Amino acid sequence: MVFNTGTALLDAIVLAVVSIKPEGTYGYKITQDVRQVIELSESTLYPVLRRLQKDECLEVYDMECAGRNRRYYKITSRGWAQLHLYESEWRKYADKVTGLFEGRIEV
């Protein structure tokens, strides 16, 4: 994709992906799911997850899987509120840009 992904959009995408499963999901799966939408490396994802955890948008817990602990991320009530804000802002932004491309909005 030719467009850069800013911090807010990346946070929104990660929150949206994590919100899909009520029980949460783990880092590798988040990376794979996000890659369905944008190109992303694991080295980019983990600082985002830590920031969202620090901002109390995600909670973290460990669960055993095949004899190892796997770290899961789950969206919090604060995370849901942030996701709804991102979604609302995205819809306004996308509508304006689409309107411009389609000639519905004049500059």
Domain boundaries, the chain: 7-102
Q: What is the pLDDT of residue 84?
A: 98
44-60 average pLDDT score = 96
The dotted CATH code for 7-102 is 1.10.10.10
Give the pLDDT band (50/70/90) at residue 94: very high
Contact call for residues 40 and 31 (beta carbons, < 8 A):
yes
Residue 62, classed as helix, strand or coil, is strand
Angle between helices 27-34 and 42-54 (to 10 degrees): 110
Taking the model in full, what pTM does it have? Answer: 0.90
